[in-house]
């Protein structure tokens, strides 16, 4: 069965066609980022209007790229939240219209759960399917995005149990804020990662140990970077600050994720969300996993770490197979 995914939780308008819940046939993304850049953050009203303007075309392009017609689609999947209400609404309304006119089922999908499902997806490579083994269940899932930093215990029935979250800023938000303080631009995650490559992670003493339990805290480290750089008191090289900041955030994520695995006696860890595109993070997690017997860590293909619609189409298909469908009362949730 082919599922169509629609994702509009933030500034990206995305559509994707996925076969059998796993094979990504196409993925098209239009971003309104350019319109927000001068504000150094997403302006919800601008994002909402941009979704309305581009959603039809993005969906048509996704179908074309997959070589499929709209009547080939068996299931319409859409992000139901969390996200910006004004962004979610155009996507949900569009998906409801499609589902109704095609007489095909509608499935509302949780954005955070979908970020973890991205590791189950595989891409079609020049006519062939490059199949890699998907993660085994149960697993511990770490979602590190611009709006959330959450740990889940995902059981063998694909039920997500929240076991930890940030008590203040999300990891991606901290990257964005630190990058802004350092004058690197927006969105800051990839720019800070690039700056950090030229610096030493030992250049500045930073840490974000946070609460004792499986929760995280990232607002303190951002303030530490701010105090260090303001009032002309900056003594450390910017690249060293970036590298030290990145290391401290990644170490906190790593510590809590492996702690969650140990506590639950689970040796499979799945990481998803925009920050999981970070190569330093991937390297540290892989190194730590490699030092533990039988332990496996999974990441999505790098372009599926960030917001995309394939993860929505994929997880939507799995939910549908379990008999979970949405009705036309489906509404966005922040
Ligand atoms: O998952 P995502 O695309 O959107 C949300 O659901 O929030 O994540 C976006 C976040 C932004 O904060 C961005 O700065 C961060 O992911 N990000 C990164 C990297 N690429 C994106 N953070 C660190 N290193 C990266 N390479
Ligand atoms: Zn996301």
Per-residue confidence in pLDDT tens, the chain, 334 aa: 999 999 999 999 999 999 999 999 999 999 998 898 888 788 999 999 999 999 999 999 999 999 999 999 999 999 999 999 999 999 999 999 999 999 999 999 999 999 999 999 998 654 454 557 899 999 999 999 999 999 999 999 899 999 999 999 999 999 999 999 999 988 899 999 999 999 999 988 898 877 889 999 999 999 999 988 876 556 778 999 999 999 999 999 999 999 999 999 999 999 999 999 999 999 999 999 999 999 999 999 989 999 999 999 999 999 999 999 999 999 999 7
pLDDT for 212 equals 82
Alpha-carbon dihedral angle through residues 134, 2, 148, 234, given to the nearest 10 degrees: 80
pLDDT for 254 equals 98
Contacts 24+ apart (CB under 8 A), 45-49: 45/86, 47/10, 47/11, 47/84, 47/86, 47/87, 48/84, 48/86, 48/87, 48/89, 48/90
Q: Which atom of ligand 1 is nearest to the CA of 188?
A: 14
Dihedrals phi, psi of 325, to nearest 5 degrees: -130, 160
- Nearest-CA neighbor of 110 among 173, 161, 63? 161
- Whether the CB of 307 sits within 6 Å of ligand 1: yes
**Cα of 203 to ligand 2 centre, how many Å?**
31
Residues paired with residue 108 on neighbouring β-strands, in sequence order: 78
pLDDT for 118 equals 98
Which two tokens mark 264? 């639950």
Residues with CB under 5 A from ligand 2 (ion): 145, 307
pLDDT for 233 equals 58
- Whether the CB of 258 sits within 6 Å of ligand 1: no
Ligand 1 pocket mutation, candidates 44, 111, 119, 145, criterion most atoms within 8 A of CB: 145
pLDDT for 109 equals 98
pLDDT for 148 equals 96
pLDDT for 126 equals 47
3-state secondary structure of 163: strand
Alpha-carbon dihedral angle through residues 272, 275, 277, 283, given to the nearest 10 degrees: -90
**Cα of 9 to ligand 2 centre, how many Å?**
8
Give the list of residues 6+ apart from residue 330 with CB closer than 8 angstroms, or none: 78, 80, 92, 96, 106, 108
Opening angle at CA 318, ends 317 and 323, nearest 5: 90
Q: Are 188 and 198 spatial neighbours (Cβ–Cβ below 8 Å)? A: no
Q: What is the Cα–Cα distance from 253 to 208, expressed in whole angstroms? A: 9
Which two tokens mark 172? 């991606």
3-state secondary structure of 212: coil
Cis check for the bond before 138: say yes or no (omega within 30 of 0).
Answer: yes
């Amino acid at each position: 069965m082919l599922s169509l995914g629609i994702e509009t939780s933030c500034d990206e308008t995305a559509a994707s066609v996925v076969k059998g819940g796993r094979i990504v046939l196409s993925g098209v993304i239009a971003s309104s980022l350019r319109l927000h850049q001068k504000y150094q953050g997403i302006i919800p009203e601008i994002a909402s209007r941009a979704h309305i303007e581009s959603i039809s075309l993005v969906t048509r392009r996704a179908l074309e790229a997959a070589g499929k017609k709209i009547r080939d689609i068996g299931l319409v999947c859409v992000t139901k939240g969390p996200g910006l209400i004004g962004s979610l609404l155009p996507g949900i309304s569009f998906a409801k219209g499609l589902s109704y006119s095609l007489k095909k089922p509608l499935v509302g999908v949780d954005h955070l759960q979908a970020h973890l499902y991205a590791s189950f997806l595989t891409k079609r490579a020049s006519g062939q399917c490059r199949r890699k083994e998907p993660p085994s269940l149960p697993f511990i899932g770490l979602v590190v995005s611009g709006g959330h930093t959450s740990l889940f215990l995902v059981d063998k029935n694909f039920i997500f149990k929240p076991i930890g979250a940030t008590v203040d800023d999300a990891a991606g938000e901290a990257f964005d804020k630190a990058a802004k303080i350092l004058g690197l631009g927006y969105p800051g995650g990839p720019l800070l990662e690039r700056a950090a490559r030229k610096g030493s992670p030992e250049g500045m003493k930073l840490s974000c140990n946070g609460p004792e339990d499986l929760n995280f805290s990232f607002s303190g480290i951002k303030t530490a970077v701010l105090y260090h750089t303001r009032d002309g008191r900056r003594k450390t090289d910017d690249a060293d600050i970036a590298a030290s900041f990145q290391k401290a955030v990644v170490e906190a994520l790593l510590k809590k994720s492996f702690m969650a695995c140990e506590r639950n006696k689970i040796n499979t860890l799945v990481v998803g969300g925009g920050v999981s595109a970070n190569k330093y993070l991937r390297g540290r997690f892989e190194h730590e996993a490699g030092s533990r017997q039988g332990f496996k860590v999974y990441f999505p293909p790098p372009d599926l770490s960030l917001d995309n619609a394939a993860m929505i189409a994929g997880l939507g298909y799995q939910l549908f197979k379990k008999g979970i469908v949405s009705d036309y009362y489906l509404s966005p949730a922040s």
